[in-house]
Chains A and B, each alone.
Chain A
Amino acid sequence: MKASTTTLPLTTGLIPYTGPWTFELAAHLLRRTTYGPTLTNIKWALGQGLEATVEKLFEEIPLPDPPVNAFYPGDPNVPIGETWIEEPYFNNILNEQASYRFRSVTSWTFGLMWQEGISIREKLTLFWHNHVPVNAVEDPKFLYRYGALLRSYAWGNFRDLMKDITIDPAMLRYLNGFQNQKEAPNENYARELLELFTIGKGPLAAPGDYTNYNEQDVQAMARVLSGWTVFGLTIESTDGTFGAEFHPDRHDDGTKVLSDHFNNEVITDMGDQEYKHLIDIIFQQEEVARFICRKLYRWFVFYQINEVVETDVIAPMAQILLSNDFEIKPALQALLKSEHFFDAAFAGVIIKNPVDFLMSIVKTFEVETSTGLDEIYDSWYRIWGFSRKMQMSYFEVPEVAGWQAYYREPLYYRNWLNASTLPLRMDYSEGFCDAGFFPFQANGQVMRVEALKLLDQLDSPDDPNAVVEECVRLLFPKPISQERKDALKAILLPGLPDFEWTVEYQAYAADPANPAVANPVEAKFRALVRSMVTMPDFFLS
């Protein structure tokens, strides 16, 4: 699988985009900031304009109701339909109660993405999950609280998020913070806090010195962070409480001295408030702002960051972040409204990650789930299962650095596609169109692309050329060659003149409930969509 060789175009920087607002640009903005925009979404954004669309993306919406027990009858503390997020365990926890609750929280998370309208919140939640990941945390209550924390900060204050995540129970568990104590320091979290979460590792300047920090800082910070443990992790209890806990006797109350990278700061004992002070010290370094801006850039724009992008985009964005006291919203909004973001050179250059890919099918085509709590959760859970098979599993990030697509040179996004995952993408794409087999159809429940629903929304559904055109601009980042358009049209009209489609469509439109006219149109249009969602263009955003 090849690495990129094309050079970046000259950038236009963070100057606000003021050119014409087109369908293509509205679609670009929504594809990058939401999951699987529908035709209705894109037309709405087109009508509203850039400014109003960005406002809508960042509109405060209430936090969702928590996940519930959708199907498991064996939990006396949690009736079906009720939430479990604070409820105690009683026995056989890992095999039964934690197991159904894990299923519940992953399903529910996919449900949030699936049901979200025009909002950037879920994409940012996943961004933070990639940035400060967890994996192998066996207690779903911990995972729910962790996910809720990320969601509540979506475009909030980065520094405050880092304070909260430092003593988040799932994170304490994941990076061994719960074992970090005075007598036996555990450096795992302190190292990643610097290297991957806040300031980043610079070039090796001297032995043990990574330009932005050194080994002395890692050791000193591990001591600062000592003393925290977790309680209530998958254990039987009567009240179900769990969380992080500070133990003064496990905390190293000695004086810690940081290196000159942090102005030789001396930290004296502050007990359970010391970690906040430490985060404040780290955030005095402006590199922290540039570091997170680069990661946002790679999530929303493109993976390559050359010197020009660094100077013209990252630096001014970091400046906005700094002047807004690390509030993410103004800096990210400036990026999303910039000439650079809408530069045609960056349209379609991101290979969709598995979650985005799946959502762009189920949401754009308004795939329906059955009614009934169990069935709805089950549909969501299947999507999680598909994304997991394609190597992107919510709550199971493979490495503390996140998914390789967002940091690993030289392939970056190309890491998503290989000889194992490509056939899966094809299978799922076709599966959602056919929906004749498990796991798309089981227990009376069908997850299927709603072909006619989309066809009916098109501007000129009776014109086969327009049908192809409109589908291309809805599903693909850029126009395609006439040759390919002809090939697609031939799916609607195998060897027939154009007017035959018009005749067929009009017959259906006049009597949509009549299967004799509706079914053939539906079948043809479904075949067109089925081909399009396996084309390389559909893999790109």
Chain B
Amino acid sequence: MKRRDFLRNMGVAVGGPILLNGFGLSALAKSRLFSAINDDEDRVLVLIQLNGGNDGLNTLIPLDQYDNLVTVRGNILIPEANILPLTDTLGLHPKLSGMKTMFEDGKLGFIQNVGYPNQNRSHFRSIEIWASGSPANEYWTSGWAGRYLNQQYPGYPEDYPNTDFPDPFAITMGFLVSETCQGPVSNFAITLSDPFTLSNLAEWNTDEYAGTLFGEELAFVRESISLTNQYSTQIHAAANLGSNQANYPDTELANQLKNVALLISGGLKTKIYTVSLGGFDTHGDQVVEGSPTTGVHAKLLDTLSGAIKAFQDDLVAQGLQDRVMGMTFSEFGRQIRSNGSYGTDHGTAAPLILFGACTEGIVLGDNPIIAEDVAVQEGVPMQYDFRDVYGSVLMDWFNVPKATVKTLLYEGFHYLPVTTCGTPDSVRERPGIGDSIDLGNFPNPFTGSTVIRFQTKDEWVRLSVLDGMGQELAVLVDRKFNAGTHEIPFNGRELPAGNYYLHLKLEGVRQKTALMVRAR
């Protein structure tokens, strides 16, 4: 470990006790005892990408909106009797019983309505946005986790691996490199298909043609071979040292998570793992006609829930549960209205699922607003910016200072209490959780102008108007306000009739979305 990281981490004592796994405390594991006192160094984040755009409204179902859901997506909606109750106003898809148990055990939580302003509905582009953490109108080529790792370990892969950092910083299960872990220079993730395979690839000294395009590609291949060999040795050793202590379903996702648990158990010090599950682009036949609890989406959620549950059971059985947190994400939610093909088209915001350590009781955000006359292309309006979720995970879980998070993500970053673990920086941000926020407009519906009313403390306020497609039409206010109730007029004469959303971002954790209707 580098000296400056050690010093930085010394002052902070957070999280639960450090538990060593009970299996084979070998030389490899012993050599890690010293660094084990640095709690956040041993923390692992598991990211599960749901490829294709998960239908959040059939995953985490807002029961208080059920009547309107029947109207707008009756052909795919889960019958009320089949929904697994989660809270008074929220229920889960019937295939998520494993997740329900985890929630009840304090091992799973949700953040509702996560998206970003100016939602892009192309898979291709939206995956990039979610991976990079960029604004919707900017093209960033590095990933958010890659930038975080680069900030911690600048210069990688030059001089890595080394005796202080023998293990890969990130691992992507499967055959495709992770965009999330792409750093400014290099990708921090090693792809891994089978941890028991030891690579011993031929290495050649090919330091030729330096400074040319060809030389650069040659060096890339050479370095990739070398890194593969070196990290493979570590991974192979950890795989042989580790174990699995739970029964996993026979799915690709479960197998990937099983390997993650194996490597954590074996003492690999990798900080970030990414796994993925594809098939969520359910334009057609999301459910079986006439049997909405079955079909493609049900199968996917069954796979997801079963894999996460087994993974968590495994970690608990090995005493590793306090070191691991997981999060799902997907490029967008789907449209509120279903289509005629028993499916749903590309939409806007959707819930994220958090699991593992520090997720006890978390249900952040309001239930999505389902207007009764939702237009065809309308999506769930965003309440929370995904970059605020990422940044808050970095603060809570990896103890990254808020100022650093701003440089890694965006200047407008707002901390959100996405976990129950606190660091000094994040705990300071927390007051205000659960405060009700006044936001509305009068008259509503309106035809010409309307007055928007909101209440603030003495604080910075950002108020914007979004349309049903998730596009930010106007930023009405982005400045400091004195404490009190404020009214500002809004002229909506030029807007086409339809649903619009006010989005209010206050200081600290308080954000709210409200429906505003432009009448015909």
Contacts and interface: CB of A to CB of B under 8 A. Distances in A.
Question: Does A associate with B in a complex?
Answer: yes
A179 B172 CA distance: 35
Contacts of B157: 2
Contact of A2 (B120, B137, B185, B376): B185
B341 A184 contact: yes
A537 interface: yes
A191 interface: yes
Interface in B120-140: 120-125, 136-137, 139
A203 interface: yes
B137 A204 contact: yes
Interface stretch (A237-245, A257-265, A268-276, A345-353): A345-353
B429 interface: no
Interface in A386-421: 389-391, 399-401, 404, 407-411, 413-415, 417-421
Given A176-B341, A399-B123, A419 B186 contact: no
B141 interface: yes
Contacts of A183: 340
Contact of B214 (A2, A389, A540): A540
A421 B176 CA distance: 9
A207 B473 contact: yes
Given A207-B118, A419-B231, A536 B341 contact: no
Q: Which of B208, B214, B223 has the most CB of A within 10 A?
A: B214
A486 to B, nearest CB: 12
A478 interface: yes
A487 B206 CA distance: 12
A179 B283 contact: yes
Contact of B341 (A179, A219, A347, A477): A179
A6 B221 contact: no
Q: Which of B217, B223, B340, B467 has the most CB of A within 10 A?
A: B217
Contacts of A481: 208
Given A6-B213, A186-B284, A477-B214, A417 B202 contact: no
A483 B224 contact: no
A185 B376 contact: yes
- B-side interface size class: 35 or more
A466 interface: no
B471 interface: yes
Contact of B124 (A345, A347, A351, A399): A399
A2 B189 CA distance: 11
A506 interface: no
Nearest to B135: A204
B197 to A, nearest CB: 7
Contacts of A63: none
Nearest to A479: B208
A496 interface: no
B118 A414 contact: no
A419 B469 contact: no
A422 interface: yes
B68 interface: no
A207 B467 contact: yes
B187 interface: yes
A415 B172 CA distance: 13
Contacts of B385: none
A484 B104 CA distance: 63
Interface in A170-219: 176, 179, 181, 183-188, 191, 195-196, 201, 203-204, 207-208, 215, 219
Chain B interface secondary structure, helix, strand, loop or mixed? loop
Given A2-B185, A184-B341, A195-B124, A208 B469 contact: yes
Given A3-B141, A419-B232, A535 B204 contact: yes
A407 B128 CA distance: 11
Interface string B193-218: 10001010110111011011111111
A426 interface: yes
Contacts of B232: 419
A188 B281 CA distance: 10
Contact of A186 (B187, B218, B220, B345): B345
Interface in B168-187: 172, 174-177, 179, 182, 184-187
A419 B228 contact: yes
B38 interface: no
A241 to B, nearest CB: 23
Contact of A1 (B209, B220, B345, B469): B220
A109 B176 CA distance: 25
B218 A540 contact: yes
A345 B212 contact: yes
Contacts of B204: 484, 487, 535-536
Interface string B320-337: 000000000000000000
A191 B206 CA distance: 45
Contacts of A536: 204, 206, 218, 221-222, 225
A423 B197 contact: yes
A496 B175 CA distance: 43
A348 B217 contact: yes
B340 A345 contact: no
B191 interface: yes
B227 interface: yes
A346 B357 CA distance: 50
Interface in B93-126: 118, 120-125
Given A179-B283, A484-B206, A417 B341 contact: no
A188 B340 contact: no
A423 B208 CA distance: 23
A514 B231 CA distance: 47
A181 B341 CA distance: 9
A151 to B, nearest CB: 26
A531 interface: yes
Nearest to B224: A417
A537 B206 contact: yes
A186 B215 CA distance: 47
Contact of B339 (A186, A208, A351, A540): A186
B310 interface: no
Contacts of B467: 207
A480 B284 contact: no
Contacts of A421: 175, 191
Given A179-B339, A419-B232, A420-B191, A207 B472 contact: yes
Nearest to B173: A420
B190 interface: yes
A185 to B, nearest CB: 7
Contacts of B174: 420
B514 to A, nearest CB: 19
Contacts of B151: none
A400 B345 CA distance: 15
Contacts of A531: 202
Contacts of A487: 204
Interface in B149-175: 157, 172, 174-175
B377 interface: yes
A183 B340 CA distance: 7
A187 B225 CA distance: 43
16 contacts: A2-B220, A4-B220, A6-B215, A179-B284, A185-B339, A186-B339, A186-B345, A187-B377, A188-B283, A208-B469, A215-B469, A346-B213, A351-B217, A401-B124, A413-B217, A423-B197
Interface of A: 1-6, 8-9, 176, 179, 181, 183-188, 191, 195-196, 201, 203-204, 207-208, 215, 219, 302, 345-349, 351, 389-391, 399-401, 404, 407-411, 413-415, 417-423, 426, 477-478, 480-481, 483-484, 487, 531, 534-537, 539-540
Given A3-B141, A420-B191, 14 more contacts: A1-B187, A1-B220, A2-B185, A179-B341, A181-B340, A184-B339, A186-B345, A204-B137, A418-B176, A423-B199, A426-B201, A487-B204, A535-B206, A539-B221
Which 7 pairs from chain A and chain B are nearest by CB? Answer: A184-B340, A207-B471, A536-B221, A179-B341, A410-B141, A418-B191, A420-B191
Interface of B: 118, 120-125, 136-137, 139, 141-142, 157, 172, 174-177, 179, 182, 184-187, 190-193, 197, 199, 201-202, 204-206, 208-209, 211-218, 220-225, 227-228, 231-232, 283-284, 339-341, 343, 345-346, 376-377, 467, 469, 471-473
